[in-house]
């Protein structure tokens, strides 16, 4: 059972001077967590039943199930690590934090089952003490165990309006089929408008609108103006399982919600251990796929850096916008290609400041913030389970992330720490270490946590999302009926596509 690694000296004097921007090649060099090497290799050839593009949770899960079904599989991964949008970041001086997908919660059954099978333990996200609301320049700590639960203490009219809007969204979401949202009775009406347009008509109290705006950027890393209302309703419906309907609250809550639990040793332990189980002969790193071509015999030639693979079937398990950058021959059907062109990635970064202790806990705070201003507008306590050092994690999302994509690390750090001081006091000003992960600048992600649908996309092109194209099959969290955008959705998509391919072979 992996254990959280703690720093030998979290206040090492070099920490504040060491560069800790763990992105791209620098990140993987420091992480050294891949299941192979990133060194150049002579080109070789492989012949398999199924070639899988992408060694995130979706691709690795698909490979596991296909091998169990007796198929010969090769997974091709562009990065020199596995995990995709799930990555552990090594902290200077020791310790681990999560730079990508991190939390799981109720009804996320498949990622939990996978972790259990691999021996990766979980622990509750730190949630003891008060949250902080920062609104209109005022900082207000508030208890989360009262009648309102974790709802920030805004005015009574705003609370009533927000509750009514949430109930209406949940009711509308129940009318959206999770496996085909474009077939909902009101799909055309809902897909013609943005979530912002709908909110303006329904969240009429400014404080209610504030809560829903923060929830939107926190969930999607996109602004309400960018999202189709139908897509938002599908996402809510997706936040459940076959026996439990999804709810808006499950997306936003910590206790009993999508942020309830973390993985001991960091979330990348799951794909790392799965890849280790599959073996280095199955998972090939540093091999970005450039071309997928179908031959006269119906088999596919997959051309990647350093290797050419022939296969009867191909599973593409990367986000739709990145799949669109692969050269397909023959061309993909227009509907599939147009779909991929219209699903942009959200804009997200994570900023983690590391301290000798989780000092906010002594102040009666749980490390969670909801704010209407600043570079970071929501935070979590990312300290290890034993609390041996403190870690504050802040999300930089949507417009705020885009505003900082081209900024220097020093500029981002200054902006983030300014917010942390506002929320948690002067002790937050001087962390022992600072780690920044900007997914917009990741060459094989270009954003996160999910590729979302603007208005008009689902009703016009949604049917192409999972439909195989000849022997090419599609996986990835975006293709999941449940927990789309989450680690659980990625695992579910891998399991679904493995069944699909096994039945076809």
Buried/exposed code over 468-505 (b: 16+ C-beta within 10 A; e: otherwise): bbebbbbbbbbbbbbbbbbbbbbbbbbbbbbebbbeee
3-state SS, residue 334:
helix
Provide the β-strand partners of residue 73.
Answer: 50
d(CA 330, CA 108): 37
- pTM of the predicted model, to two decimals? 0.91
Q: What angle do CA 191, 193, 199 make, to 5 degrees?
A: 120
Q: How many angstroms separate the CA atoms of 114 and 271, rounded?
A: 10
**How much is the pLDDT for 151?**
82
Q: What is the pLDDT of residues 77-122, one digit of tens each?
A: 999 999 999 999 999 878 899 999 999 999 999 999 999 999 999 9
pLDDT value, residue 42: 52
b/e per residue 307-325 (b: at least 16 CB within 10 A): bebebbbbbbbbbbbbbbe
Q: Which residues contact 30 (CB under 8 A, 6 or more apart)?
A: 22, 90
pLDDT tens track for 179-228? 999 999 999 999 999 999 999 999 999 999 999 999 999 999 999 999 99
Quick one: tokens of 436? 């920044």
The per-residue pLDDT for 226 is 98
Whether the link from the prior residue into 330 is cis, omega within 30° of 0, is yes
The pLDDT value recorded for residue 418 is 98
For the record, the structure tokens of 37 come out as: 């090497």
Structure tokens at 46: 């492989």
Residue with tokens 């309006």: 161
H or E element that contains 263: strand 261-263
In terms of Cα–Cα distance, which of 12, 18, 2 is closest to 434?
18
pLDDT at residue 148, as a whole number: 62
Residue 439 CA from chain centroid, whole number: 10
Q: Tokens 């009775």: give the residue.
A: 185
* Buried b / exposed e along 186-218 (16+ C-beta atoms within 10 A): ebeebbebbbbebbeeebebebbbbbbbbbbbb
Q: Which residues in the chain show pLDDT less than 50?
A: 1-41
Q: Note the pLDDT of residue 44.
A: 93
- Name the token pair of 135: 């609104």
Would you state the pLDDT for residue 150? 78
Please report the pLDDT score of residue 94 as a whole number.
83
Q: Quote the pLDDT of residue 144.
A: 85
């Amino acid at each position: 059972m992996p254990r959280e690694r703690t720093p030998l000296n979290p206040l090492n004097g070099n920490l504040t001077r060491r560069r800790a921007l763990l992105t791209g090649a620098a990140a993987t060099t420091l992480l050294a967590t891949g299941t192979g090497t990133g060194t150049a290799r002579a080109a070789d050839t492989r012949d398999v039943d199924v070639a899988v593009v992408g060694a995130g949770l979706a691709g690795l899960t698909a490979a596991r199930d296909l091998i169990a079904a007796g198929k010969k599989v090769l997974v091709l991964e562009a990065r020199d690590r596995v995990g995709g949008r799930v990555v552990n970041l090594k902290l200077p001086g020791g310790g681990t934090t999560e730079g990508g997908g991190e939390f799981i919660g109720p009804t996320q059954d498949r990622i939990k089952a996978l972790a259990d099978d691999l021996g990766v333990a979980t622990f509750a996200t730190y949630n003891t003490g008060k949250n902080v609301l920062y609104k209109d320049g005022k900082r207000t700590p508030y208890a989360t165990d009262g009648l309102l639960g974790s709802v920030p203490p805004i005015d009574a009219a705003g609370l009533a309006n927000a509750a009514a809007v949430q109930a209406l969204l949940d009711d509308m979401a129940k009318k959206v089929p999770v496996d085909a949202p474009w077939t909902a009775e009101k799909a055309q009406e809902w897909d013609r408008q943005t979530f912002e347009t709908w909110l303006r008509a329904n969240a009429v109290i400014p404080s209610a609108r504030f809560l829903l705006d923060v929830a939107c950027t926190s969930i999607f890393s996109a602004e309400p103006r960018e999202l189709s209302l139908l897509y938002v309703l599908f996402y809510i419906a997706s936040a459940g399982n076959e026996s439990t309907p999804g709810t808006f609250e499950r997306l936003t809550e910590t206790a009993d919600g999508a942020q309830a639990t973390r993985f001991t040793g960091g979330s990348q332990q799951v794909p790392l251990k799965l890849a280790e189980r599959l073996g280095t002969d199955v998972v090939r790193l540093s091999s970005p796929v450039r071309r997928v071509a179908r031959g006269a015999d119906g088999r596919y030639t997959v051309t990647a850096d350093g290797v050419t693979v022939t296969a009867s079937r191909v599973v593409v398990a990367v986000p739709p916008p990145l799949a669109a950058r692969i050269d397909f021959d023959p061309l993909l059907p227009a509907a599939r290609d147009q779909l991929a062109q219209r699903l942009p990635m959200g804009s997200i970064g994570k900023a983690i400041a590391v301290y000798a202790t989780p000092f906010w806990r002594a102040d009666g705070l749980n490390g969670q913030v909801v704010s209407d201003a600043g570079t970071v507008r929501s935070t979590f306590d990312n300290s290890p389970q034993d609390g041996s050092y403190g870690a504050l994690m802040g999300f930089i999302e949507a417009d705020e992330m885009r505003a900082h994509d081209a900024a220097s690390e020093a500029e981002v750090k200054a902006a983030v720490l300014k917010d942390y001081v506002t929320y948690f006091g002067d002790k937050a000003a001087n962390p022992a270490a600072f780690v920044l992960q900007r997914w917009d600048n990741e060459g094989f992600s270009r954003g996160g946590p999910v590729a979302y649908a603007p208005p008009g996309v689902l009703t016009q092109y949604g049917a192409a999302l999972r439909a195989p194209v000849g022997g090419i099959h599609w996986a990835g969290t975006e293709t999941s009926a449940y927990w789309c955008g989450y680690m659980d959705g990625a695992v579910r998509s891998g399991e679904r596509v493995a069944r699909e391919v096994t039945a076809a072979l």
